[in-house]
Amino acid sequence: MIIEQITSTVSSLVKNSLYFVGYQTTRIQDFASSLKGNSRHIILTEWNWLIPITWTAFYAAPYMKELGMSGGEIGLVGGLAVSVQAISSVMSGFFAERWGHKKTVMIFDALCWPTSYLVFAFAQDIWWIMAATLLNSICLVGQPSWANLFIEGIKEEKRANIYALLAMAANTAAFFMPLAGVFISLFGFTPAVRLMFLIGSASTAFAVLYRTLKLKETEEGRRLVSKKNHYSFKLELEKFKESFRKIRQRSELFWFCIVRMLVVFALVMGNTFSTLFLTEKSGLGLNKTDITVLPFVFSMVMVMIMLIFIPSVKKEHYKKYLLRGTALAVAAQLIYVISPAGTTSFVLIAAVLSGIWMAFFRPLSDSYSMNILSDTERTRILSVFNTLLLISAIPAAPLAGFIFSYSPRLLFGIVAAILFAAMVIIRKKFSYGENKELLQP
């Protein structure tokens, strides 16, 4: 089944690429015309987060290793991050209803990013890393509010476009990865990573200030604040339960939630240790500066696929592209398993396949999750949805640390199996569009 999906996808890519040159200009104009209001200001400043995040996330595990942490301790920190994010996600609806969407985002972004990056920059041991992780992880309180700010005033049929732009912004940030390699060559690994965190602190502080001045509160946010609700734990629990029941009772939400749980679990397992696998002798043993080409290739492929395909993907084809993309993700993980030590050719192919998968998965799934919910229920449902995803992912990093210590290649075989399970659910449970209940953005 995987081989068939890969063959079909590659054939489709070749066919559609024949008219790429003329099509690309029109698509870029279509994307740009979708941006207005809050989404424009968010996209303009998104690189202030994305560039330092790309640097530091890629080198986080080797950085912690240099500070004397073991694979198990690195996994423990990853588990701590997801646990705190899960708790933070539960609180997102509470703060949004009392402060509004904009104030919630601005306060938690200001607390979490510049401050946590400073702590990371001066970290000396696991306790510094854990403190910085705690600070950084509570930023998820503002995620549903950020999502509402981002789509404010954007028509449903244009939301896939702005999410595609957001995903492209995230991946063009990887074009700056070679600069991280330059830092490492000039200053050495640990000082260079500290510099990356310092740059991230200054960059995110500026972006928070800009957004505070430019973003406008949503209509729903103003309505929530005007109600002046008093806090009631019992009421909060009832609202959480009601939102959970909606997810459980609505099949389009339930099965999509299961797929996202599997994907998030797999990504946490793989991403936490992928850089260590590439650089450690127990893995591929590649040079830390040489591997900067991998996120660059991943991002280049993802951006190209988004420009060619995403604007023309109709809702009745969502299942097809989600299925094919996930098949490529399974293949990419299996390539890690069989890659010879000391060579980059195999993992370059894996980066290409992963870029194609994420180009399909991110904008299509994000657009779906926003459009399927009404304005009044979106914040609460997203809060519960994110909480479920995070709770399910709590064991992922510690489990990955244990498996990586035993066999680095086995870890990526297990990640492939998890993504294969997600692909089976997509194939069996998602509709092609004839059922309005499922995947109808």
Report if residue 439 sits inside a domain: no
- Residue-level pLDDT at 322: 83
The answer to whether position 229 is within a domain reads: no
* Beta-carbon count within 10 A of 155 CB: 9
Whether 424 is covered by a domain: the verdict is yes
Environment class of residue 362 by beta-carbon count within 10 Å: exposed (0-12), middle (13-18) or buried (19+)? buried
Is 126 within 8 Å of 73 (Cβ atoms)?
A: yes
CA of 68: how far to CAs of 74, 187, 224, 229, in Å? Answer: 10, 19, 47, 48
pLDDT digit string (tens) for 274-328? Answer: 988 998 888 898 888 888 888 888 888 887 887 777 767 666 677 788 888 899 9
pLDDT tops 50 at residue 415: yes
Give the confidence band of 421 by pLDDT, cuts at 50, 70, 90.
very high
**pLDDT tens, 184-214?**
999 999 999 999 999 999 999 999 999 999 9
CATH number for the domain that contains residue 129:
1.20.1250.20
Please state, in angstroms and rounded to a whole number, the distance separating the CA atoms of residues 56 and 132: 13
pLDDT in tens, 139-159: 888 888 888 888 777 776 667
What is the distance between the terminal CA atoms of the chain, rounded to a whole angstrom?
Answer: 27
Structure tokens at 273: 């240790």
CA 135, distance to chain mean position in Å, is 19
Confidence grade of residue 224 (pLDDT, cut at 50, 70, 90): confident
Residue 408 belongs to some domain of the structure: yes
228: in domain: no
pLDDT band at residue 161 using 50, 70 and 90 as cut-offs = confident
pLDDT in the model for residue 172: 76
User: What is the per-residue pLDDT for 390?
Assistant: 78
> Is there a domain that residue 435 lies in?
no
Q: Is the residue at 413 inside a domain?
A: yes
The two tokens of residue 185 are 């060559």
Task: List the single range of 35-49, 226-240, 310-324, 386-400 with lowest mean pLDDT.
Answer: 226-240
Q: How many other C-beta atoms can be found within 10 angstroms of the C-beta atom of residue 125?
A: 12
Task: Kindly tell me the burial class for residue 198, based on how many C-beta atoms sit within 10 Å of its own C-beta (0-12, 13-18, 19 or more).
Answer: middle
Mean pLDDT, the chain, rounded, equals: 80
Residues with Cβ within 8 Å of residue 234, at least 6 apart in sequence: none
Q: Which domain holds residue 54?
A: 2-216+234-429
**Integer Cα distance of 62 and 55 in angstroms:** 12
Q: Which two tokens stand for residue 28?
A: 């870029």
**Angstrom distance (rounded) from CA 272 to CA 63:** 12
According to the model, what pLDDT value does residue 234 have? Answer: 67
This prediction's pTM = 0.71
Residue 441 lies in a domain: no
3-state DSSP assignment of residue 362: helix
Please give the structure tokens belonging to residue 348: 């370059």
Q: For residue 13, give both structure tokens.
A: 């890519």
Asked whether residue 14 carries a pLDDT value surpassing 50, the answer given is: no
How many structural domains are present in the chain? 1
